[in-house]
A = this chain, B = another copy of it.
Amino acid sequence: MQRYFLANHDFEDERVVIKGDDAHHIIRVMRMVAGDEVICCNEKDESALCTIEDVSSGDVVLNVTKWLDERKELPVSVTIANGLPKGDKLELIIQKGTELGAAKFIPFIAGRSIVKWDEKKGKKKLERWQKIAKEAAEQSHRTKCPVVTEPLTVQKLIEEAKNYDRIIVAYEEEAKAGESANLYKSLSSLTKGQSVLVVIGPEGGLTEKEVQLLKENGSVICGFGPRILRTETASMYVLAAVSYQTELME
């Protein structure tokens, strides 16, 4: 069933009003009419089965038929901070990461990021990333649409990291050196509701200096298995591991 991510203020008790692009999508693209049903999600990870009451004004007015108990979100909130990669790789990272349950994506301008961030073109890119997250969240039946932020500098990322319960850094030199215990140690000690920031380098990886800086700020440096993963694969690995640990094992 079609799913829409709405603002809290779109809900008023058991009544929902959808405006703008989503209203256009319901009326013009899906050609829905009064009596049809959709799922509406608010910003509190809650979702409701709603029945369309009226579309005549161009807005869509709905009534909540039933609040759902979907439990589609990871028990811990995982943010993927990925060094800005080449080409459209971040699109794949956002699409797959959303399916796999990420709460937020923070691209950052790493020392080895080859792409330059252009403020002007950047706005369009950011809109596109956010759209990919929204579509993937709908398709994977999530109740939360991940946020994609503007790329941060490393310094800003370190500042941001202070807001998290745990900082995990994927570092391929650790993987090469056979480090294999840190990720499990870190994930298995998480408790429900905690927040995790996962920092992943661009192609070429994080610089030693970046790793050092992250270490000094309380990060756990982890290998993600003995094979060398491309930058876009590392986030898939860690999100699947978080799901396996917190949703399937426990």
Contacts and interface: CB of A to CB of B under 8 A. Distances in A.
B225 A243 contact: yes
B241 A99 contact: no
Most chain-B CB neighbours within 10 Å: which of A70, A142, A229, A243?
A: A243
Given A233-B100, A237-B100, A240-B237, A142 B227 contact: yes
Interface stretch (A32-40, A79-87, A112-120, A178-186): A178-186
Given A96-B233, A99-B233, A249-B184, A140 B228 contact: yes
A141 interface: yes
Nearest to A98: B227
Interface string A172-196: 0000101011011000000000000
Nearest to A137: B227
A155 interface: no
Contact of A184 (B178, B230, B233, B248): B248
A244 B140 contact: no
Interface string A215-246: 00000000011111110010011101101110
A215 to B, nearest CB: 20
A226 B245 CA distance: 13
Contacts of A228: 99, 139-141
Interface residues of A, number: 36
A71 interface: yes
B183 A227 contact: no
Given A100-B225, A233-B236, A240-B240, 16 more contacts: A71-B178, A96-B236, A99-B228, A99-B233, A101-B225, A101-B227, A139-B228, A140-B228, A184-B248, A225-B248, A236-B236, A236-B240, A237-B243, A240-B241, A241-B244, A244-B245
20 contacts: A71-B226, A72-B226, A99-B233, A100-B227, A100-B229, A100-B233, A140-B228, A140-B229, A141-B176, A141-B228, A180-B247, A180-B248, A184-B244, A184-B248, A224-B243, A225-B243, A226-B247, A233-B236, A237-B240, A241-B248
Question: Lowest 10 CB-CB distances: which A-B pairs, in order?
Answer: A240-B240, A225-B243, A241-B244, A140-B227, A237-B240, A184-B248, A236-B236, A140-B228, A141-B228, A184-B249
